[in-house]
Structures are given as C-alpha cells and as structure tokens.
Amino acid sequence: MKFFIDTANLSDIAEAQALGVLDGVTTNPSLMAKEGITGEANILAHYQNICDLVKGDVSAEVISTDFDGMVKEGEALAALHPQIVVKLPMIAAGVKACKYFSNKGIRTNVTLVFSAGQALLAAKAGATYVSPFLGRLDDISTDGLNLIAEIRLIYDNYGFETQILAASIRHTMHVIDCAKLGSDVMTGPLSSITGLLKHPLTDIGLAKFLEDYKKGNH
C-alpha cells in the first residue's frame, strides 16, 4: 500500500518524507490556498518545491472545467516535472481529458469520485489513479469504506490497472480499513500517518527496557 500525504504544507511533507514511508503527495486548490499559495507562478513554483522534497508522484490539480482548458493546464503541469500527475475532476470534460492524457502517456488522478459508476468511468478513460473521497461520504452518513470495497471488486473483475487512491482520509482507522480492503494508495494528513505509530504498550515497554538496562549497567 502506498502512503501519500494530502497537503501542500512543506514542513508536513518533509516530516513524512523523513520518516521514510512516504510514496507521494496529493494537493488540491483548497490545500494550496490554505498555505497561502496563490497566483499561477507561485503555484507552479510550489509544485516544483514539493517535487524537490519527495521522490514519488505529486498530484497537481487543474482548475479549468472545459476540455481545452484542462488539456492546456495539464500539459503545462506535466511538463513542469516528471513526478507530476495531472489531477482532473470527475466531470464529462475531466473524463475526456483523462482519455486524452492517457493516450499521450501522461499520468492522471481523477478526483471528486463519490460513486462506483464514476470510478468505472475513470478506469475506462485510463486514469492512473482514482480518488474516492471517504471522509466526505462519511460526513453525509454514507459508508465511504463501502465505496472502496465496490471499486476494488469492479476493478478486480476486469483487471483494470487504475490504482484506487483512497482520499479524504481523516484518521488512522480509515488507513487501516482501506488497507484491509485492498486500496492501492491512501492519502491523508500527516496525523493519519504518524498516528499509526502510537500504542501505549510500546511506550510502557520501551520505558521498562531502558529502566532495566540502566539497572544492569550502572
């Protein structure tokens, strides 16, 4: 299972990278705005900074909603760095652009996916990644994990190579449940990765080991 971090915060990205378990980064316009990154030149420079920090794939989202605009933006993003994956919204123009990029060998991440039908369309269009939003489904009392299970079943039935990128992950249990369901990738905040470290018995056990070592070596 690949671990992506879902942020545009360079210090969070560096911390996850330093842990040695980071496989990539996902961003979106809201996450860029949260870091105060605005304007095309600054946004492109920020993607470059993120690519310099990590070794894996970096999803960069287009803001156009028409096919021609998506193609123009996506080509510019893909040309920026070989690690860039063009992130496209699940609308008709996004599906069309996904097919266009797939034919050109440019990697894509189809985002804002909330149904199995949408995930099927993304795979048919040759998406590299599909991003079902778990947390936002849970927010409206709909089982986000069930969507991951449905997509896994459908993709396995037909051997689709599109990777399931579980997004809108909010906490460690989402990560663990997605791992059980065979999600290829998860993307979440730094806390969803570092939270996996924590267990009180680990801390208690380590304290005891160190205490016993001191007793035997004073």
List residues with catalytic annotation: 87
Triad 180, 182, 188: Cα angle to 5°:
80
Q: Of the listed pieces 34-42, 44-52, 133-141, 153-161, which binds ligand G3P according to CB under 6 A?
A: 133-141
Q: Binding to ligand G3P (CB under 6 A): which residues in 146-185? A: 167-168
- Secondary structure of residue 28 in the 3-state scheme: coil
Q: Which H or E run contains 113? A: strand 108-113
Minimum CB distance to ligand G3P smaller for 3 or for 133: 133
Cα atoms in the Cβ-side hemisphere of radius 13 Å centred on 48: 9
* 192 binds ligand G3P per the rule CB under 6 A: no
Site for ligand G3P in 26-65 (CB under 6 A): 26, 28
85, 158, 196, 207 from 78: Cα distances, Å = 7, 29, 33, 49
Residues of this chain, 102-131, that bind ligand G3P according to CB under 6 A: 131
Site for ligand G3P contains 133 (CB under 6 A): yes
- Closest distance between ligand G3P and the C-beta of residue 112, in Å? 8
Taking the complex as a whole, how short is the minimal distance between the CB of residue 90 and ligand G3P, in angstroms? 12
Per-residue binding string, ligand G3P, 5-24, x by CB under 6 A, is -x------------------
162 versus 187: smaller Cβ distance to ligand G3P? 187
CB neighbour burial string for 143-172, b if at least 16 within 10 angstroms, e if fewer: ebbebbbbbbeebeeeebebbbbbbbbbeb
Q: Which residue has the tokens 């299972």?
A: 1
Residues making contact with ligand G3P (CB under 6 A)? 6, 26, 28, 131, 133, 135-136, 167-168, 187
